[in-house]
Amino acid sequence: MTTESPPDRNGLATYERFMATVRRACASPEGRATLRQGLADNLENPWPLYMHLMPAGGIPVRKDTPPHAQRQAELPFLMTAALYAVHDAPNPRAGDKPLAVRQPVPAKQWENLGWSLARAAGTGMRRETAIGLLSHLCELDHDALIAELPATISLLRSNRVPVKWPVLLRDLIRYQRWAPDVRIDWARAYTMPVRPKETSK
């Protein structure tokens, strides 16, 4: 199942819809466990993830994506789904609240990795560490970023720093072809003054 998914800077509707798909896939213990295992396997054996994501709504890649490029185009979706399953998905086995009553606050387009690292620097992480981590991420190519992202997200979430999944997904897609633009957006978000009504989740 495919839909149009232009990697635009501000539009998040497609990515919000995909995260709803991920939440549906994680609503069953098997779906959540499978997506979590995908991260443990470094996405080297992704077909089980497809078995849960496709029935839940599919992976939206551009309809004009050539077949030979489809797997690469879908990689950011699989990575984001697996990261969400590990760090934020409610656990059906533990009796967590039903997903229908746990809808997230819609993300803002500037709530990217730079924004998350700025929150981290304001809640315990040394500023030099946050800046160093952001600088390191911005020096990576797309494949290296995908490889290093799990450790970064784990660090942020273990410190209760929010990660806005639709924004992360959008940026991973854009990073494949427009990495300099994404890096500038992250730098701008890091240096942006904290808004008084920003939520923690």
pLDDT of residue 107 exceeding 60, the answer is: yes
CB atoms within 10 A of CB 193: 6
- Flag the least confident range among 9-23, 79-93, 96-110, 167-181: 96-110
Distance CA 179, CA 187 (A): 12
In the predicted model, what is the mean pLDDT of residues 176-196?
88
Closest of 184, 168, 110, 178 to residue 141, by C-alpha: 178
Residues sharing a CB contact under 8 Å with residue 135, sequence separation 6 or more, in sequence order: none
CB atoms within 10 A of CB 128: 9
List, for residues 57-69, the tens digit of each pLDDT value. 999 987 777 877 8
What percent of the chain is predicted at pLDDT more than 70? Answer: 86
Paired tokens of 27: 């609503």
pTM of the model as a whole: 0.86
Cβ atoms of residues 78 and 152 within 8 Å: no
pLDDT of residue 181 exceeding 70, the answer is: yes
In the predicted model, what is the mean pLDDT of residues 70-97?
91
Paired tokens of 101: 């009553």
Cβ atoms of residues 30 and 52 within 8 Å: yes
- Confidence at 123, pLDDT banded by 50, 70, 90: confident
